[in-house]
């Protein structure tokens, strides 16, 4: 199959992601109105394709957290992408040039990872580029529509859409929790941990960014050690590997831990 045919197949498979991204990033654009200028919000979405990282950044920027704290939170929240990149690299042909690997890593979101990981056999870079070409513009477009919606919608509607992020986290966390008791334990531990940080006076002094770091690393790390995943051959396995995106595939322990902890900390 030619590179163009692979790209078209990837573009077709990425269109549902495009529609989902427009909806989710629209809520990010609404949330960003009170923290960032419109151009800043759009540039953030164009350079940082991670809903969990961007929503976490908004809360930290609003709280006037330090750049070190902001960078540390982004490192922890987005660390899962290094694992996804390692998995995807194993699905590529051994001789795939380095520049293809780098470009694919830049646009690898949770949903793009899920689609690419589910593709049968070896992954072609052209297919991955097709998925990204369809999906990623939706994230930027939704943000743009969200930030320019101020003044165009009734205040009550804006207020209602402002809580859509919590609905997104519920939609992300609870469907896999119903099927996996281990994930249910992770989510419960995250909720209890977040409550402890709010109720215990000593823990309440910890800044929001480090609360997210402590809960994500502590709970996700413990769960990963207690419940390791079975190894599979990425070249022959046609099922998608469990994946996170605080708004963007969501089956991993880290995604569930961060989603619950972040929702409570905010």
pTM of full prediction above 0.75: no
Sole residue written with tokens 């870079």: 125
Spell out the residues 6+ positions from residue 22 whose beta carbon is closer than 8 angstroms to its own: 138, 139, 141, 142, 145
3-state DSSP call for residue 121? coil
DSSP letter assigned to residue 242: P
Question: What are 211's two structure tokens?
Answer: 């609360």
pLDDT confidence of residue 266:
41
Where does residue 181 rank: exposed (0-12), middle (13-18), buried (19+ CB within 10 A)? Answer: exposed
List strand residue ranges (DSSP E) for 148-226, in order.
none
pLDDT confidence of residue 131:
93
Would you give per-residue pLDDT tens digits along the chain (266 residues)? 688 999 999 999 889 889 888 888 888 888 888 889 999 999 999 988 887 788 888 888 988 888 888 888 888 878 778 878 888 888 898 888 999 999 998 888 888 888 888 888 889 999 999 999 998 999 999 999 988 887 676 766 666 665 655 665 666 567 777 887 887 888 888 889 888 888 888 777 776 667 767 877 788 778 878 877 565 554 555 444 444 443 443 334 444 444 444 444 44
Spell out the residues 6+ positions from residue 225 whose beta carbon is closer than 8 angstroms to its own: none
Cβ–Cβ < 8 Å for 179, 246: no
pLDDT confidence of residue 90:
86
Q: How many other CB atoms are there within 10 angstroms of residue 141's CB atom?
A: 18
pLDDT confidence of residue 134:
92
Cβ–Cβ < 8 Å for 173, 52: no
Interatomic CA distance for residues 70 and 49, integer angstroms: 16
Q: How far are the Cα atoms of 6, 142, 144, 176 from residue 46, in angstroms, in the given order? A: 25, 11, 10, 29
3-state DSSP call for residue 199? helix
3-state DSSP call for residue 181? helix
Interatomic CA distance for residues 173 and 177, integer angstroms: 6
Question: What are 52's two structure tokens?
Answer: 């969990």
Spell out the residues 6+ positions from residue 86 whose beta carbon is closer than 8 angstroms to its own: none
pLDDT confidence of residue 161:
62
Interatomic CA distance for residues 256 and 91, integer angstroms: 25
pLDDT confidence of residue 245:
40
Nearest to 216 by CA among 184, 187, 177, 175: 187
Q: How far are the Cα atoms of 55, 117, 150, 262 from residue 256, in angstroms, in the given order? A: 15, 20, 31, 10
């Amino acid at each position: 199959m030619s590179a163009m045919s692979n790209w078209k197949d990837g573009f077709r498979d990425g269109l549902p992601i495009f529609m989902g991204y427009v909806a989710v990033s629209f809520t990010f654009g609404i949330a960003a109105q009170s923290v960032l200028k419109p151009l800043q919000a759009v540039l953030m979405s164009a350079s940082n394709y991670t809903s969990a990282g961007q929503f976490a950044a908004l809360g930290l920027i609003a709280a006037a957290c330090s750049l070190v704290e902001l960078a540390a939170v982004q490192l922890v929240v987005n660390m899962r992408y290094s694992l996804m990149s390692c998995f995807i690299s194993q699905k590529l042909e051994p001789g795939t040039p380095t520049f293809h690997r780098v470009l694919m890593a830049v646009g690898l979101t949770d949903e793009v990872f899920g689609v690419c990981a589910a593709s049968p056999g070896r992954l072609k870079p052209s297919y991955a580029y097709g998925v990204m070409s369809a999906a990623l513009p939706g994230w930027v477009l939704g943000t743009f529509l969200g930030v320019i919606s101020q003044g165009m919608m009734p205040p009550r509607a804006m207020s209602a859409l402002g809580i859509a992020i919590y609905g997104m986290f519920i939609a992300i966390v609870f469907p896999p929790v119903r099927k996996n008791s281990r994930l249910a334990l992770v989510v419960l531990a995250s909720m209890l941990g977040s409550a402890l940080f709010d109720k215990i006076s000593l823990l309440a002094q910890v800044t929001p960014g480090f609360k997210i770091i402590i809960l994500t690393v502590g709970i996700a790390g413990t769960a990963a050690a207690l419940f390791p995943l079975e190894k599979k051959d990425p070249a022959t396995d046609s099922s998608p590997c469990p994946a996170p995106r605080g708004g963007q595939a969501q089956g991993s322990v880290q995604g569930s831990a961060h989603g619950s902890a972040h929702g409570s900390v905010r």
